Amino acid sequence: MAKAEKVSAVAEITEQFKGSNAAVITEFRGLSVTQLGTLRRTLGEGATYSVAKNTLVKRAAAEAGVEGLDELFTGPTAIAFIEGELPEAAKAMKTFAKENKNLIIKGGYMDGRVLSVDEVERIADLESREVLLAKLAGAMKGNLAKAAGLFNQPASQVARLAAALQEKQEASGDAA
């Protein structure tokens, strides 16, 4: 690779680091081109999966201000740069790794900190944003219904007390 090509490759990877919300580092040894294409499609539109030389990726990460990933850049390395929701892409990668044992998730990077393999897998186990928002809305609706019942309770107690008092007066009026 000529020096100009390396400089442009480093610049491109640096921009990917800067433009993404998160990155997941993987080892892809033994995967075919077809399998890598399948993985790229399963990641969706919000993620790109790039194969690059470790020295170039280390240099690009340093230029982008990403620190702590150097020990992950060993062997054949590919990086999923995620611009959208990390749980969706991490879930796709975890599922693909279960089906294809040659894909090994090494770790990741999100919000200025390095993620271990366990943290990436826990993120993959999260439900989608829409499901979490729906659960939150359901919990809030349930609490509002409880509050409405609590506020209505004194009024209904007064109504029951008045009805009981009226029945008592009618019963005593009939007896008199």
Same domain, 105 and 134: no
Strand order in the sheet with 104-110: 47-51, 77-82, 22-27, 104-110, 113-115
Same domain, 105 and 155: no
* Residue 82 to residue 98: CA distance in whole angstroms: 20
Same domain, 53 and 119: yes
Contact 120, 108 (CB under 8 A): yes
Final residue of a structural domain among 126, 148, 166: 126
Q: CATH code at 50?
A: 3.30.70.1730
Domain of 140? 129-176
Same domain, 33 and 96: yes
Mean pLDDT in order along the chain per 10 residues (176 residues): 81 87 87 87 85 88 85 87 84 87 88 85 80 82 76 78 84 67
DSSP-derived secondary structure for 124-176:
HHSPPHHHHHHHHHHHHHHHHHHHHHHHHHHHHHHHHHHHHHHHHHHHHHHH-
Same domain, 16 and 28: yes
* Residue 12 to residue 67: CA distance in whole angstroms: 18
Query: Based on the number of CB atoms within 10 Å of its own CB, is 169 exposed (0-12), middle (13-18) or buried (19 or more)?
Result: exposed
Same domain, 101 and 165: no
End-to-end CA distance of the chain: 111
Same domain, 105 and 149: no
The sign of the dihedral angle between the CA atoms of 15, 12, 58, 63 is negative
Same domain, 121 and 137: no
Same domain, 80 and 66: yes
pTM score? 0.68
The tally of domains found in the chain comes to: 2
pLDDT, residue 176, reads: 52
